[in-house]
Structure 1
Amino acid sequence: MSQFGLPSSGSNLADGDRGRLLLGIGMIILAMSIIPIMDGIAKHLTSSLDTMQIVWGRYFFHFVLFLPLVLYWHGSATFRPKRPVLQIMRGAFLLCSTFCFFSAIGTLPLADALAVVFVFPFIVTALSPVLLGDSVGVYRWTAVLVGFAGALVVIQPGFSNISVGTFWALAAGSIYAFYVLATRKLAGSDPTLVTLLMTGLVGTLVSSVALPWFWSQPTAFELLLMVLTGLLAAIGHYLIILAHEYGTAPQLAPFAYFEIVATTIVGLLAFGDFPSAVTWIGIALIVLSGLVIGWREAVRGGQA
């Protein structure tokens, strides 16, 4: 599972700034294509391993695989972040959200679980003026509302019987919103790779405390899949962090809906969850919301 400086949304963007915003949008879309593959692997692993063990693998291998790269580029500064408390909070938000989401996909189809998670753009959009100083206009609110409506269409008739998995997914989305806001607050404070490594470190340390009570010996193939969850998650979230340096949270939030498109494809290919005609209508609304807001940013220069 899986956003967002540029000038605030109320300012005019020069051509170069528009290009930077489009680059940030591209990074978000690429990240939203990579992370669903990781989620699909995690869902497969829930059939044989405990959720806590899968979460540990996602963070441990994230940390181990990126540690040499970060040390090479940043040396001793790697473990001296400028805003350590915010780094720890950000890592804890993502860890909790990951655990909730992996718990959700253990019982729900991938697309259904992720669609519930997409309550987070509402929270981001509502809180970003207060916490980030962003300006949110009617067009961005409209885009978020249209995208969320599409998310609800995707999961129909999934809400006919509310399950425990739905509540896990709702918790994941609510916590993830605060991860997104913390990421935006951190933009520019520390090198991107350092922030990425801190995420893995916090997740590894906290999940390792509980691991002895949930560990079972994985097969060689399961261990390989655990390594892949860490690698794909690290790459995806690296792109998300970079994107935050090129666009504001309200500008990028609608494009996170592309994750539902990619997740639907993964669910079809890996688990045989074939989308219905109604689902495709929802996906169309999700994509449209992102394309419209991106077109408006490019043509109108970011005015709300």
Structure 2
Amino acid sequence: MTSQQSGYIFAIAAFLVFATQDAISKHLAEAYNPVMITFIRFWPFALFAIFLASRSPGGVKGALRTKHPVLQVLRGLLLVSQIGVAMAAFAEAGLVKTQAIFASSPLLVAMLAVPLLGEKVGWRRVVAILVGLIGVLIILAPTDGDIDRTLILPLVNAVQMAVYSICTRIVGRDEQASTSFFYLGVIGCLAASIIGPFYLSPVAGIDWMWFAVVSVTSVISHYLLITAYKRLDAIQIQPISYFQLVWASALGVMIFGETLNWNVLLGSAIVVSAGLFTIWREAVKRRLMG
């Protein structure tokens, strides 16, 4: 097996674990405050980030050195808030609809890359972004013609994910992966630890197991993704992220009894198609420039 082939396997496994983690998060968020869940699950994640930093060149001291301290802190705050909002969205809107909206994140990144990164977007990608946004509008409008207000949180979360991706691109130009991951875990854990204790509540016996599972899977999923990034370029991994939409939606239907309405299916197909086209055009642009 080649390094690239194993990279694809690690990437697919990562997004399948992410989707499973989302399903467990939905189960927990229906009984506990999302802030509390985020607080508990971020501690293992932070310890994992510190462990990786200790094994990197320069150790933890080396990981602390950054040329973008403000952006690194912002990334950590964005991630911890994004996780909390995502769990609230799973509980309120369900996995199917939430993941359908999440699929628009690459399109939002392409939009934000123009004003924030100074990137030039050709007419093809502009058309793809507009078509993708039409897909989002189709998802938002059910058969009775009213806007589905439960999707406000998923929309907010998609924007958070896009801004986080832009910040990651900026720091990625100058920083080692160990530095970015270290700040992600530590800053996120500090933020969650400041707010989280105010939202603690008694946990039912069996739910401790689910808290443990969601904490472990948060470490496993990121380890798999980091390993995939060592073998593949980001542009190769982005299309695979749509496996998360498919698997999470399947879990929503099979476990939580959610329904696949025609507007969600059609809108998702449009959003994913536009996202894949945008990713492909970005890959073409990089080949021409490189």
The interval holding the TM-score normalised by the smaller chain is 0.7 to 0.9
Residue equivalent to 1:212? 197
AA of the residue aligned to 2:27: H
- In structure 2, what residue type is equivalent to 1:61? P
Unaligned runs of 5+ in 2: none
Provide the C-alpha distance between the structure 1 equivalents of 2:285 and 2:73, rounded to a whole number of angstroms. Answer: 38
1:42 to 17, 25, 31: 25
- 1:50 partner amino acid: N
Matches within 5 A, 1:1-304: 31-74=14-57, 75-76=59-60, 77-118=62-103, 120-154=105-139, 157=142, 160=146, 162-163=148-149, 165-219=150-204, 221-237=206-222, 239=225, 242=229, 246-247=233-234, 257-276=242-261, 278-293=263-278, 302=287
Counterparts of 1:292 and 1:27, CA distance in 2: 23
User: Deviation string for 1:10-61 (max 9, x for gaps)?
Assistant: xxxxxxxxxx9x9999987665443222211111001222111111123222
Give the whole-Å Cα distance in 2 for the aligned partners of 1:137 and 1:295.
Answer: 13
- Give the Cα–Cα distance (whole angstroms) in 2 for the partners of residues 38 and 161 of structure 1: 28
Shift of 1:274: 3.9
Shift of 1:264: 1.1
TM-score (norm. length: structure 2): 0.77
Rounded Cα–Cα distance in structure 2 between residues aligned with 1:295 and 1:161: 31
Q: Is the 8 A contact 2:140 2:147 kept in 1?
A: no
SS of the residue corresponding to residue 106 of structure 1 reads helix
Which residue is 1:7 aligned to?
Answer: none
Question: Does the Cα contact within 8 Å between 1:104 and 1:169 map onto a contact in 2?
Answer: yes
Q: Cα 1:266–1:85, aligned 2, differ >3 Å: closer, same or farther? A: same
The whole-number CA distance in structure 1 between the counterparts of 2:96 and 2:115 is 31
The farther-off stretch of 290-299 and 89-98 is 290-299
**2:112 partner letter:** L
TM-score relative to the length of structure 1: 0.74
* Higher helix proportion (structure 1 or 2): 2
Q: For the residues of structure 2 that align with 1:298 and 1:100, how far apart are their CA atoms?
A: 31
* Superposed displacement of residue 300, structure 1: 8.2
The one-letter code matched in structure 1 to 2:197 is P
Give secondary structure in 2 for the equivalent of 1:160.
coil
Alpha-carbon distance in 1 for matches of 2:116, 2:222:
21
CA shift at 1:95, angstroms? 1.7
| Alignment CA distance shift 1:80-1:148 (3 Å) | same
SS at match of 2:201: coil
SS at match of 2:233: coil
Unaligned runs of 5+ in 1: 1-19
**Sequence identity of aligned pairs in percent?**
26
The answer to whether the 8 A contact 1:55-1:98 is kept is: yes
Determine if contact 2:102/2:157 at 8 Å carries over to the other structure: yes
Number of residue pairs aligned between Structure 1 and Structure 2: 281
The alignment yields a C-alpha RMSD, in angstroms, of: 3.8
